[in-house]
Amino acid sequence: MRNRIVVIVIVAALALAAPGSAAVIKAQNGGLSADQLALLERVFEARAYLEVVGSYAEDRTGTETQLLTLEWEDQVFEFYDETEWEQAQTVINTAAGTNAQAQVRAAVTGEDWPPYVVSGEVRLVDDVLYVNASYEEPDASLPPLPEGWFAVPDIEAAQQEYPALVALQLDNVSRSEPAPLLENQQLIRDTATDVQLASAELADGTQADQITVTFGRDALLAVMTEDVEDAFQLALFGAMSDASYAALIVTLDAENRPLHVRTEIVLVAEGIDAAALSPDDFPPGMMLSFRFEGVEEQSYRQFDETFEPVAVPEGVATEPAS
């Protein structure tokens, strides 16, 4: 059904909405001031620090909710998905690359399967990701998961075969930067709507700098529609209201090290004429609305401390078990 396609399209759009995508750069509102660009440089430097520091610990949590509503005559159909996830990992930067060990957990409520909780351990060793995950309450109606440790040479392929792995955010373990919004620095400079500096008080009472980078509706739309030719997708994106935005909030200590990063993204559209978008899939008069909200929190600590080396799990399967 088209309603499931709409949900997939909205989720897929997030990868484009993040300024880390490969979209062509589009300047917004005349660009940022010199002071704002200088603040961005501080954020970029903090990101780079995580790639060169010997080690650190990270706690990461996130929530994603998505509501798709179809209204037709006197009927209302709602499709809701929610995922809450958490990760606690230690990261060691070696001459050969980044190694990491993480405890992961996710709770999922959606349309495709009964609510479930999946948890386990993930290791990144010499550019190879290893996963050992299982349901906290197994249910035969849930999608299958391989037993024991297995190697994941391709995260996307593994998630297609084992959909429950999507909730565990495996790419976070294999990604060293604080957030996907920091991928393409020049794109951020040219699309960011605003950059602001404020003071924040840490738990121990010391002061820290807090830099907020905002992407308004037009900045999101410019990136999301780049290279998109499908009329259905373009109409969906174009229907986003001014309530749509993305924000990156970075807290830095006196040494410009990242202590906390919060990423927010909201996509909202209301009252879309579904039949006008796709008359073959929707009856005349059906209206479509959607709302996606994503929040991710990351805290960093124990910089340059000594952690136990990350080892390849024993008895690991070369390929996921069927």
Encode pLDDT of 284-307 as tens digits.
Answer: 999 989 899 999 999 999 999 999
288-264-211-253 Cα dihedral, nearest 10 degrees: 180
Q: Does residue 290 contact residue 6 with C-beta atoms inside 8 Å?
A: yes
Q: Give the bridge partners for 10, in sequence order.
A: none
Mean pLDDT within 74-92: 94
pLDDT at 45 over 80: yes
**Structural domain boundaries of the chain?**
2-301
pLDDT at 162 over 90: yes
The pLDDT value given to residue 182: 57
Give me 301's structure tokens. Answer: 């600590």
pLDDT at 228 over 90: no
Helix intervals (H) in 74-216? 155-161, 170-173, 185-191
Model confidence band, residue 17 (pLDDT cutoffs 50, 70, 90): very low
Give me 128's structure tokens. Answer: 């190879």
Mean pLDDT within 78-107: 93
Which has more confidence, 225 or 16? Answer: 225
Mean pLDDT within 195-204: 91
Q: Does residue 210 contact residue 279 with C-beta atoms inside 8 Å?
A: no
pLDDT at 7 over 90: no
Q: Does residue 236 contact residue 269 with C-beta atoms inside 8 Å?
A: yes
pLDDT at 3 over 50: no
Model confidence band, residue 224 (pLDDT cutoffs 50, 70, 90): low
Query: Which among 17, 6, 31 is positioned nearest to 192, based on CA atoms?
Result: 31
CA geometry: angle at 64 spanning 22 and 120, to 5°? Answer: 95
Give me 234's structure tokens. Answer: 């373009």
Q: Report how far residue 228's alpha carbon sits from residue 249's, in angstroms, rounded to the nearest whole number.
A: 29
Q: Report how far residue 138's alpha carbon sits from residue 164's, in angstroms, rounded to the nearest whole number.
A: 12
Mean pLDDT within 49-58: 93
Q: Report how far residue 280's alpha carbon sits from residue 210's, in angstroms, rounded to the nearest whole number.
A: 49
Least confident among 93-97, 172-176, 228-232, 310-314:
172-176
pLDDT at 4 over 80: no
Task: Count how many residues are written for the chain.
Answer: 322
Least confident among 22-31, 46-55, 63-72:
22-31
The pLDDT value given to residue 13: 34
Q: Report how far residue 191's alpha carbon sits from residue 47's, in angstroms, rounded to the nearest whole number.
A: 19
Q: Does residue 91 contact residue 177 with C-beta atoms inside 8 Å?
A: no
Least confident among 37-51, 173-187, 263-277:
173-187
231-233-239-241 Cα dihedral, nearest 10 degrees: -150
Mean pLDDT within 153-160: 89
Q: Report how far residue 85's alpha carbon sits from residue 102's, in angstroms, rounded to the nearest whole number.
A: 13
Helix, strand, coil share (%) of the chain residues, nearest 5: 25, 40, 35
Give me 164's structure tokens. Answer: 């429950």
Q: Report how far residue 186's alpha carbon sits from residue 231's, in angstroms, rounded to the nearest whole number.
A: 29
Model confidence band, residue 97 (pLDDT cutoffs 50, 70, 90): confident
Round the average pLDDT of the chain to a whole number and report it: 83
Write down the pTM of the prediction: 0.81
Region at 31 (left for phi over 0; alpha for psi -120 to 50; beta for the rest) = left
Q: Does residue 283 contact residue 299 with C-beta atoms inside 8 Å?
A: no
Helix intervals (H) in the chain? 2-17, 34-52, 155-161, 170-173, 185-191, 217-224, 231-238, 274-277
Which has more confidence, 201 or 175? Answer: 201
> What percent of the chain is modeled with pLDDT above 90?
51
pLDDT at 190 over 50: yes
Model confidence band, residue 192 (pLDDT cutoffs 50, 70, 90): confident
Mean pLDDT within 188-193: 85
Burial annotation 169-192 (CB, 10 A radius, 16+ → b, else e): bbebbbebbbbbbbbbbebbbbbb
pLDDT at 87 over 50: yes
Q: Give the bridge partners for 209, in sequence order.
A: 199, 252
Q: How far is CA 39 from CA 67, 207, 250, in A?
A: 35, 17, 11
